[in-house]
Homo-oligomer: A and B are copies of this chain.
């Protein structure tokens, strides 16, 4: 299972009861927080997301609308007596900011906070059932996108064929991961004789705040779901570019070129009260687009 719940979909200036960027990514039993603008802990409360479930936090960049809510969230977790560790992935300077804020408050978090500075592209978390990688995007300051990949067996066992070839059930798990089976007599049972293609692993790509940049395409290629920022409508492309942001049309262009299954767009400028045109413009380029709306969970 892979799902993304939007807690904030607005750009820097809060407006029209829209909040700055924050999302919760759920992958099977794991819960990740991606960016954490001011008020994220309240939004989590509002949408019944339990703070205690979050194990990993990813911060794309150090503009306030993507992290000002983090210190409050961490402090509240501490006040609630959390003991379970948190892994935090962010630009290096965030550690100094957090350390200073805890220090002046004479506060020690009761749980281990493992800080992982983002310094180069590649895999940053690798667990049995998922991996997370980061990639650099082009914004006014250092900024990172994240890709969350499920890791699950890509072959499905055909029980009749497996029985016919006398593969013991103790080997089934390895069959699912594509291995051939060798009998006691040394005969090789080819994997494809006893399995078929399994369900595709799902993936979610979050490309953070970025100018239109085709280098992103390969990073988010074939994702089940892509979040791409769309701060402005297409008539303000020049302003978008000047501010290292994108239009809805540009977001949809990346989605199309990257062959993703579905696109959600967000980070709307506070100059827009109504968002319908964002969806309309994006759909003209990439049909399977939805607005990233606060409180909505997008499942893939």
Contacts and interface: CB of A to CB of B under 8 A. Distances in A.
Number of copies: 2
Given A71-B68, A75-B64, A141 B97 contact: no
A187 interface: no
Interface of A: 12-14, 38-39, 41-42, 45, 62-64, 68-69, 71-72, 75-76, 79-80, 91, 93-94, 96-97, 100-101, 104-107, 140-141
Contacts of A68: 38, 68, 71-72, 75
Contacts of A104: 62, 91, 93-94, 97, 141
Given A13-B80, A63-B105, A96-B100, 5 more contacts: A12-B75, A64-B71, A64-B105, A68-B68, A97-B104
B13 A79 contact: yes
Contacts of A93: 100, 104
Contacts of A71: 64, 68
B106 A38 contact: no
Please give me the 5 A-B residue pairs with the lowest Cβ-Cβ distance, nearest first.
Answer: A62-B104, A38-B72, A93-B104, A68-B72, A64-B75
A17 to B, nearest CB: 9
A63 B79 CA distance: 12
B106 A97 contact: no
Contact of A105 (B39, B62, B72, B101): B62
| Residue with the greatest number of chain B CB neighbours at <10 A, chosen from A39, A45, A107 | A39
Contact of A14 (B64, B76, B96, B97): B76
Nearest to A100: B97
